[in-house]
């Protein structure tokens, strides 16, 4: 799925508006929103079109969640070991979760000298707001999102949809991620039959 320039440009404009020299120097960008909204596609496009000379490190929360019940655990791990560590000058790293083996896998260090993009459900947790620079909330029509999410995972997500939805709603109620967003976008394609929401609304997860 290609990412519309209408989604990428506002994020890159927000990076430029930070006034860093060079552009985007050590900037931290968080991209959150419900499942199937297009967060991964947007993150790829932001990295590919990065306006500064040093490309960002990209961390996907899909690689961090320790299983289908791991939303809160991933929020905590990324907050402490990546964002918190980086903010205080300590070595930052995250551990990949091997979904096939259902167990933790290798560690990945995060270069403190490069910009950082973190995308996925939970990226805009309340505790992450003060240790980030650009915070993106991406929403989309419920029906479109669910089609995308289930098609993307080849049906593997369907059996866990209700569990993930429960955890997502709890996270969204507790942390109010939209509140911390500095950029709000919709991933509903223009010209689709789905209405474009004027404001983000509670919907299923990733």
Name beta bridge partners: 110: 92
Q: Which residues contact 49 (CB under 8 A, 6 or more apart)?
A: 8, 12
pLDDT tens-place string over residues 24-51: 999 999 999 998 788 999 999 999 999 9
Q: Which residues contact 116 (CB under 8 A, 6 or more apart)?
A: 26, 27, 28, 29, 56, 57, 59, 82, 86, 110
Q: Cα angle at 183 between 62 and 87, to 5 degrees? A: 60
pTM for this model (two decimals): 0.86
pLDDT tens-place string over residues 181-204: 999 998 776 554 433 333 332 222
With tokens 């020299």, the residue in question is: 21
pLDDT tens-place string over residues 48-84: 999 999 999 999 999 999 999 999 999 999 999 999 9
- What CATH number belongs to 5-186? 3.40.50.300
Domain ranges of the chain: 5-186
**Three-state secondary-structure class, residue 88:** coil
């Amino acid at each position: 799925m290609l990412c519309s320039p209408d989604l990428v440009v506002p994020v890159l404009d927000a990076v430029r508006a930070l006034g860093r020299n060079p552009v985007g120097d050590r900037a931290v960008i968080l991209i959150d929103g419900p499942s199937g909204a297009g967060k991964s596609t947007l993150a790829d496009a932001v990295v590919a079109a990065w306006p500064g000379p040093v490309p960002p490190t990209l961390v996907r929360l899909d690689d961090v969640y320790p299983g289908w019940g791991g939303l809160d655990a991933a929020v905590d791990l990324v907050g402490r070991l990546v964002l918190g560590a980086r903010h205080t000058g300590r070595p930052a790293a995250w551990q990949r979760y091997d979904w096939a083996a259902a167990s933790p896998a290798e560690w990945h260090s995060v270069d403190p000298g490069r910009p950082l993009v973190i995308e996925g459900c939970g990226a805009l947790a309340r505790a992450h707001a003060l240790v980030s620079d650009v915070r993106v909330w991406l929403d989309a029509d419920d029906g479109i999102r669910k089609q995308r999410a289930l098609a993307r995972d080849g049906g593997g997500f369907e059996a866990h949809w209700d569990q993930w939805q429960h955890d997502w709603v709890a996270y969204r109620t507790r942390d109010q991620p939209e509140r911390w967003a500095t950029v709000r976008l919709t991933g509903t394609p223009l010209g689709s039959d789905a209405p474009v929401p004027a404001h983000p609304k509670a919907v299923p997860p990733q």
